[in-house]
Amino acid sequence: MEVEVKVLISDNHWTRIKERMPEDVDEKKRDVWFFDTSDLSLINREIVLRARVNRKRNKTESTAKWRRWVSPFAPVRDAWEQLPGFKAEIDASLSEGVPAWSVTDKDLEENLFRAVVEGELRVQKLFNKQQQLLVQSAWPLLPWDELIAWGPIESVKWEVRKGVTIERWTVGEESVVEISKRGQFQDLALGEIREWLSVDGIEAEALEGGKTAWALARLEPKMPTL
């Protein structure tokens, strides 16, 4: 199973690394939104419902993810892998690596997304049958009617070299930077990240919960108008 290693660095280092970023910023900008209850009960159960909006390209995609508690049995995973948009991988950081299954729908209408964010439609409308099946396998009684929008998070993402990816998230006046790398071996991927950071004399950091927890701690939920 493929591993995606993710490490964070303080935004204080941004001035040192931004000179190495490609200049096509507008093409890379996306708004990120999460959908959860007011007390974040999905995230607390390792369930993620997320949307990304690329306004430049007029594209919206949704992702449903279940982390950590997925089935350890290969035949079960093999059955899931027949579904469109399904991905199984290991989410790894400096401190741990956990299995994660996700289903992504890359062809959403932005009008549908806007209606959900504004509370005109239920959050469930953003996620297809396969996505709903995945998260309801994690939580059969998932409270769809209690879900609200958390966002937006301004995201800019670049691939810099050898598959090393830089993503900067901004909420208000604060930002955090994540460096990630996919591969078959966690240690090798982490080594390539450390090598990229070492050019500017930067050490990777371990932030509990990663950039998602960082962002949600700074966001106010958008209450529905229904």
Model confidence pLDDT, tens digit, residues 148-178: 999 999 999 998 888 899 999 999 999 999 9
**Average confidence (pLDDT) over 140-154:** 96
Q: What's the pLDDT score for residue 25? A: 65
- Residue 113: give its domain's CATH number: 2.40.320.10
Give CA–CA dist 12/75, Å, rounded: 45
Q: Where are the beta strands (DSSP E) in the chain?
A: 3-10, 29-36, 47-54, 59-67, 86-92, 97-108, 148-161, 164-171, 174-183, 221-222
Q: How many domains does the chain have?
A: 1
Which residues span the domain enclosing 212? 3-222
Model confidence pLDDT, tens digit, residues 166-225: 999 999 999 999 999 999 999 999 999 999 999 999 987 766 668 999 999 999 887 655
Would you state the structure tokens that stand for residue 5, as one six-digit string? 């290693």
**Average confidence (pLDDT) over 5-32:** 85
Residue with tokens 């890379």: 28
Output the CA–CA distances (angstroms, integers) from residue 24 to 17, 27, 60, 186, in the order listed.
15, 6, 19, 30
pLDDT-derived band at 26, boundaries 50, 70, 90: low
